[in-house]
Structure 1
Amino acid sequence: MKITLLYLGIILTLNFPSSAQNKRICLVGSSTSYGYGVPADSSYAGRIKNFYKTAGVLDTLYNIAVPGIDCYIGMPTSFVPPPGRNAPNPQFNITRAIHFDPKPDVIIVNFPSNNYQWMPYAEIIFCLQTMKDSANAAGIACYITTTQPRDDFNPAGGERQRLKDLELLIKQNFGNWALNFWEDIVQDPPIIIKPQFALGDNVHLNPAGHAMLANIVLQKNILFAEIGNRWTGVKNEDWADAANWITNKVPVPTEAVVIPSGRPHYPIIQADVAIKKLTCEDGATLTVGSNHVVQIISDGE
């Protein structure tokens, strides 16, 4: 099913499967996803909800974002934070998001700046990756937004530059699963919110800024991306060992498979395998034993 709509002056043509009904989205994050300072229907959350409802493909948008929280608060309930860090809050975290009933098809994780002026980069990426892995393990697609500019961050102390650095790191780490909430919003130099998108409090976006974010989400066509199965390689090199996969299941012919970079072990296949799609990120390897075949099964889409 193809739907073409004029949205905020942009013609969006999205291809939806004919069975695309009763989809659900969940937002996890802080004030941007909460919609701080703008009417509900002018927030990016309200805009994507209205768009997908109009298209007839969305049942529910769960929004558990709350102003002022950071990425540690969004971590799984079982996570024990290091000293001096916030503990996960089960009212607002990824654990709650994945346990909604009916569960969401897509989760957007949006922690764009709170406490990033001092928090180590590695900790931030670790938190975001953990939340994404938790969603993927539950069979839920998960997108991670980049940082967003803040005028109240100190330029002399390098705080604004940290947000810029993190924007790049998030894009590098999450690839196609990153939502770029930086590029169209920032005025650089001096690394501030573009005046036409600023709410006026040096932190948040106005309705025009939220409209820009909504366009970014909609153009990603988030409801119909392939989730697939992701290699972790945490145990060994055996493709057939379920412990090496994020879903704790060996891929089946209907699944897309991603072999990411930076794994402790890379897969070796010692039997014939059939999967829907295979993606090897830069630096990742896949070894197929002699006399064995990897069959890529197209669904005709």
Structure 2
Amino acid sequence: MKITLLYLGIILTLNFPSSAQNKRICLVGSSTSYGYGVPADSSYAGRIKNFYKTAGVLDTLYNIAVPGIDCYIGMPTSFVPPPGRNAPNPQFNITRAIHFDPKPDVIIVNFPSNNYQWMPYAEIIFCLQTMKDSANAAGIACYITTTQPRDDFNPAGGERQRLKDLELLIKQNFGNWALNFWDDIVQDPPIIIKPQFALGDNVHLNPAGHAMLANIVLQKNILFAEIGNRWTGVKNEDWADAANWITNKVPVPTEAVVIPSGRPHYPIIQADVAIKKLTCEDGATLTVGSNHVVQIISDGE
């Protein structure tokens, strides 16, 4: 089914499966996803909800974003933060998002700037990756937004540059699963919000800025992107076949693993796994998430 609508002055043509059932989206994040300072229907959340509702493909948009929180607060409830970091809040975190009933088909994680003026880059990417992994392990597609410019960050102290650096790191780390909330709204130099998109408080976006973000989300066609396949559990004879990579299947120690090219694959390992050989085909990639290690041990061969 092809839907063509005039939206935000742009003609959008999106391909939806003709048999598509109504989908669900959940927003996890801070003030941008909350819609701070703008009418609900002018926020990017309200705009994508209205668009997908009009197209007849959205059932529910869960929004548990809240102003002022950072990426540690969005971490799984079981996570124990390091000293000096915020603890996960079960009212606003990824654990709540994946346990909605009925569960969402897509989660957008949007922590664009809070505490990023001092938080180490590696910690930020670790938090975002952990939230995405949690969603993917539950069978839910997950998009991570980039950072967004802030006028109140100190340019002399490098705080604005940190947001720019993180924008690039997020795109590099998450690839097609990153939502670019940076390029269209930044004025660089001096790395501030473009005046036409600024709410006027040096932090947040006005309705026009939210309209830009909504357009970015809609052009991704997030409701019908393939989550990819996941490797998480015990043995399955077809586990290395791109067409039959099945959840909860992991090879035995005598097997050789081939990561097929073509489709995305997500090895989410929840316990130690030993295999004989690991091969990545041309065009395939293997990403090792934070707190995970691939260890090569010689067995004498």
* Whole-angstrom CA distance in 1 between matches of 2:287 and 2:131: 29
Q: Could you report, residue by residue, the CA deviation over 1:160-212 in whole angstroms, capped at 9, with x for unpaired residues? A: 00000000000000000000000001000000000000000000000000000
Paired residues in the alignment total 301
The percent of aligned pairs where both chains have the same amino acid is 100
State the shift of 1:21 in Å: 2.2
Q: Which stretch shifts more, 271-280 or 248-257?
A: 271-280
Q: 1:55 offset after TM fit, Å? A: 0.1
Query: Secondary structure in 2 aligned to 1:199?
Result: coil
Cα-to-partner distance string for 1:74-123 (whole Å, 9 max, x where unaligned): 00000000000000000000000000000000000000000000000000
Are the counterparts in 2 of residues 273 and 294 from structure 1 also a CA contact under 8 Å?
Answer: no
Contact 1:239/1:269 (<8 A) preserved? no
CA contact (8 A) 1:236 1:265 kept: no
CA displacement at 1:269 relative to structure 2 = 17
In the alignment, structure 1 segments of 5+ residues that lack a partner are none
Write out aligned runs for 1:158-197 (5 A).
Answer: 158-197=158-197
Distance 1:162 1:240, change over 3 A: same
User: Contact between 1:43 and 1:210, CA under 8 Å: does it hold in 2?
Assistant: yes
Of stretches 107-116 and 244-253 in structure 1, the one that deviates more from structure 2 is 244-253
Cα contact 1:261–1:284 (8 A) shared by 2: yes
Judge conservation of contact 1:243–1:249 (CA < 8 Å) in 2. no
Tell me the CA shift for residue 12 of structure 1. 0.2
Offset at residue 290 of structure 1 (A):
33
Distance 1:217 1:261 in 2: 27
Question: Following TM superposition, by how much is the alpha carbon of 1:268 offset from its aligned partner in structure 2, in angstroms?
Answer: 16
Provide the C-alpha distance between the structure 1 equivalents of 2:158 and 2:290, rounded to a whole number of angstroms: 53
How far apart, in 1, do the equivalents of 2:33 and 2:22 lie? 22
Cα offset, 1:248, TM superposition:
3.3
Note the aligned Cα RMSD (angstroms).
Answer: 9.2
Alpha carbons 1:64, 1:91 under 8 Å: kept: yes
Which whole-Å CA distance do the structure 1 matches of 2:59 and 2:201 have between them? 34
**Using a 3 Å threshold, how does the CA distance of structure 1 residues 88 and 289 change in structure 2: closer, same or farther?**
closer
The normalised TM-score by structure 2 is: 0.81
Q: 1:279 to 1:61 in 2, by over 3 A?
A: farther
Task: Provide closer, same or farther for how the CA distance between residues 287 and 75 of structure 1 changes in structure 2, counting only shifts above 3 A.
Answer: closer
SS at match of 1:166: helix
SS in 2 for 1:175: helix
Superposed CA offset, 1:24-79 (max 9, x none): 00000000000000000000000000000000000000000000000000000000
Asked if 1:149 corresponds to 2:154, the answer is no
Contact 2:232-2:248 within 8 A present in 1 as well? no
CA contact (8 A) 1:231 1:244 kept: no
Deviation at 1:267, TM superposition (A): 9.2
- Spell out the pairing of 1:217-256 with structure 2 (5 A cutoff): 217-230=217-230, 247-249=247-249
In structure 1, distance between residues paired with 2:58 and 2:238: 39
SS in 2 for 1:53: helix
1:90 is the counterpart of 2:90: yes
5+ unaligned residues in a row in structure 2: which ranges? none
Deviation at 1:273, TM superposition (A): 19
Please state whether the residue corresponding to 2:149 is helix, strand or coil. coil
TM-score normalised by structure 1 residue count: 0.81
- Contact 2:75–2:127 (Cα < 8 Å) also in 1: yes
